[in-house]
Amino acid sequence: MSDRIRVTRVGVYAYHGVHPEERSLGQRFFVSLDCRLDLGPAGRGDDFAQTVDYSAMVERVQEVAVSRSFRTIEGLAEAIAATCLKEHPRLEAITVTVEKPGAPIAAMLDNIAVEVTRTRHGQGDA
């Protein structure tokens, strides 16, 4: 499916990480969603009921990110993908990117990120 809704860089302050300091002090994370679905019916009919509510997805991203604690950003990305697919039946696939700009790495870097793609039928990459 080539139709997409993209939500980029939802910022959250949360407590994810392997190190105790990350889990107690917290840090910023950014979450982006690339949602695959057929937008034809919504576009042709100008019908909100034929698409997904990206505002609701953003609220759930924030809720998942701040209400749970993950040791890895891979775990956070997986939980967000599963939640979005479960709650939005029109989604055919979703790619979730989680950025961790403050990763405790002894190097000058801009960002660390993971990206997972999940499909409605659980077949991994779309």
Domain extent, residue 111, equals: 4-119
pLDDT of residue 53: 95
Per-residue pLDDT tens for 39-81?
999 999 999 999 999 999 999 999 999 999 999 999 999 999 9
Whether 126 is in a domain gets the answer no
Is residue 124 included in any domain, yes or no? no
Residue 22 lies in a domain: yes
Q: Which of 67, 9, 66 is nearest to 34 (CA)?
A: 9
The 3-state DSSP class for residue 35 equals strand
Q: Which pLDDT band holds residue 17 (cuts at 50, 70, 90)?
A: confident
In a domain, 53, yes or no: yes
Number of domains comprising the chain = 1
86 carries an active-site annotation: no
Closest by Cα among 4, 3, 59, 50 to 31: 59
What CA–CA distance (Å, rounded) separates 103 from 117? 22
Looking at the domain assignment, is residue 41 inside a domain?
yes
Residues in the chain, how many?
126
The whole-angstrom separation of Cα 27 and Cα 21 is: 10
Query: Looking at residues 93-117, what average pLDDT do you find?
Result: 86
43 part of a folded domain: yes
Bridge partner residues of 28 (DSSP): 13
Evaluate whether residue 61 is within a structural domain: yes
CATH of the domain at 87: 3.30.1130.10
Global pTM value: 0.90
Planar angle of CA 55, 59, 61, nearest 5 degrees? 115
Catalytic residue among 100, 104, 112, 125: 100
Question: Which letter does DSSP use for residue 63 in this model?
Answer: H
